[in-house]
Amino acid sequence: NAGVMQNPRHLVRRRGQEARLRCSPMKGHSHVYWYRQLPEEGLKFMVYLQKENIIDESGMPKERFSAEFPKEGPSILRIQQVVRGDSAAYFCASSASTQGYEQYFGPGTRLTVT
Amino acid sequence: AQSVTQLDSQVPVFEEAPVELRCNYSSSVPPYLFWYVQYPNQGLQLLLKYTSAATLVKGINGFEAEFNKSQTSFHLRKPSVHISDTAEYFCAVTEGTGFQKLVFGTGTRLLVSP
């Protein structure tokens, strides 16, 4: 059973460009979470999605960031007009359900904004 | 809102010595608790979880953690560490009525030397 897949693993963008991060959950998992890890910090929750629905986006910056989890295909985290402060590792996790079910993490996408 | 405190940012220890990594959480309602390990440039791997069953939880790689409700703690222990245990360790707690999000501590870097 393949784990959570994320691509690309590394992404370099110039200021003002768009960044698209993809996440394929584990087989059978319909819950997807995105977290951001800034240098020397822990992970911070961004958004929780189920298929075609955003359930909780309380951790998402109000502007430039969006996420989706379509019926078919991977979940996408999109960052428009990136700035240097967006440089971080972005992790996707998936779970089979909530209520304490563990979240399985992907290897992350390391975004560098130059 | 939940918060997680990992007081030790770094713990140096010699190989085969015991180790304890401390974690305290803020909620008065026992949530679900997790310990994750992150090796350099990798995603997070679940070590163990507490879901209101036994207070002593055994995980992978010889780690265990004890849930202490009165002290709101969930410290991670290993009786004898190996060089390969060198990594970043994160304590996390669920938040939200559906326990969707994880709130992470800032992490503890375990450095095992020969």
Query: What tens digit of pLDDT does each residue of A55-97 get?
Result: 999 999 999 999 999 988 999 999 999 999 999 999 999 988 7
Rounded Cα–Cα distance for residues A103 and A90 (Å): 15
pLDDT at residue B43, rounded to an integer: 85
Residue B102, beta-bridge partner list: B94
- Cβ burial B26-60 (10 Å sphere, 16+ → b, else e): ebeeebbbbbbbbeeeebbbbbbbbbeeeeebebe
**Chain centroid offset of residue A62 CA:** 16
Mean pLDDT for chain B overall: 90
Contact A55 B100 (CB under 8 A): yes
Q: Which residues contact A106 (CB under 8 A, 6 or more apart)?
A: A3, A4, A5, A6, A23, A91, A92, A93, B43
- A37 close to A91: Cβ distance less than 8 angstroms: yes
- B26 close to B3: Cβ distance less than 8 angstroms: yes
pLDDT at residue A1, rounded to an integer: 53
Asked whether residue B28 carries a pLDDT value surpassing 70, the answer given is no
> What confidence category does residue A102 fall into, taking pLDDT thresholds of 50, 70 and 90?
confident
- For tokens 């997790």, name the residue: B34
- B106 close to B89: Cβ distance less than 8 angstroms: no
> What confidence category does residue B40 fall into, taking pLDDT thresholds of 50, 70 and 90?
confident
Rounded Cα–Cα distance for residues A98 and A56 (Å): 13
B45 touching A, CB under 8 A?
yes
Q: What is the pLDDT of residues B68-107, one digit of tens each?
A: 988 899 999 999 999 999 999 999 988 766 667 889 999 9
In chain A, % of residues over pLDDT 90 = 75
Q: Which residues of B fall within a CB distance of 8 Å from A107?
A: 42-43
Pairing between strand A43-50 and A53-56?
antiparallel
Question: Longest C-alpha distance within chain B, in Å?
Answer: 45
pLDDT at residue B97, rounded to an integer: 63
pLDDT at residue A4, rounded to an integer: 93
Closest chain A CA to residue B105: A42
Q: Which residues of B fall within a CB distance of 8 Å from A48?
A: 100-101
Contact B43 A43 (CB under 8 A): no
pLDDT at residue B99, rounded to an integer: 63
Closest chain A CA to residue B40: A107
Q: Which residues contact B92 (CB under 8 A, 6 or more apart)?
A: A43, B4, B33, B34, B35, B36, B102, B103, B104, B105
Asked whether residue B18 carries a pLDDT value surpassing 90, the answer given is yes
Give the closest-approach CA distance of B97 to chain A in angstroms.
Answer: 9
**Number of CB pairs, chain A paired with chain B, less than 8 A apart:** 63
Question: Longest C-alpha distance within chain A, in Å?
Answer: 40
Mean pLDDT for chain A overall: 92
B65: number of Cβ within 10 Å: 27
